[in-house]
Amino acid sequence: MFDGHVATLLDVAVSLVNVLTDGSRQGRPYTAPHGDQLPQAVHDALPPAPDRTTVEQVHAAYLAHTAQQMRAVFDAVDSGRTDQAAELVNVLLRTTGARPQLDRIDGEPWQVHFHGAHDTLSVGWSAGCATALALAIGSDLAGRLGVCTAPQCDRVYVDNSRNAVRHFCSNACRSRVKAAAFRARKTSQG
């Protein structure tokens, strides 16, 4: 499976896509936050950081654009268009200037982090997420990127299950589908 840092970056990619792109969620239409709501939505979608209390509008808008691009990557992988997904990720890697760098956090060993050419909040996270998607697509783990199969839900996920059997973005969608199947069986029996 993915190493800890790559798993974190993939989780952030999922969070950004699911929060910052329009579509449907758990059976209902979903409209992504915009305008004055966007910075707080981005702040909440990113992992907590003690030195970050707010996200500037310019960074929020940049990450919302990155989320749109990453959604296209998940959609392409999910529909078996891996070549297209790779091309989309390559665009993200080029535009962010993603590059590996060894960083040390106090009390921890050296870690490979992925930064953008300009280490701003938005470019840094975009570069890291793009690199994590590249590592997934460039390995036998590309099939672990998915789009929820529940009716009226298009939220994305990374399948971390042992047997690669995940089909839903959340327990709520899985339960919704199981309940609908149960009701359909009851109706056809009764």
CA distances from 3 to 7, 88, 113, 125 (A): 6, 23, 12, 17
Q: Could you give the CA distance from residue 17 to residue 74 in angstroms, rounded to a whole number?
A: 9
Q: How many CB atoms lie within 10 A of CB 104?
A: 10
Q: Domain 4-142, CATH 3.40.50.800 — does that match?
A: no
CB 12 within 8 A of CB 158: no
Residue 66 token pair: 């990155």
**What local confidence, expressed as pLDDT, does residue 36 receive?**
97
Residue 79 identity: S
- Provide the whole-model pTM: 0.92
Angstrom distance (rounded) from CA 156 to CA 1: 18
Helix (H) or strand (E) holding 42: helix 38-45
Residue 114: strand, helix, or coil: strand
- Burial of residue 118 (CB within 10 Å: 0-12, 13-18, 19+) is exposed
What residue ranges of the chain have pLDDT lower than 50? none
- The confidence score (pLDDT) of residue 190 equals 67
Nearest alpha-carbon partner for 134 in 71, 73, 47 = 73
Q: What does R_g of the chain's alpha carbons equal in angstroms? A: 18
The pLDDT value recorded for residue 153 is 97
- Give the distance from CA 153 to its chain's centroid: 15
Q: Decide: residue 29, CB within 10 A, 0-12 exposed, 13-18 middle, 19+ buried.
A: exposed
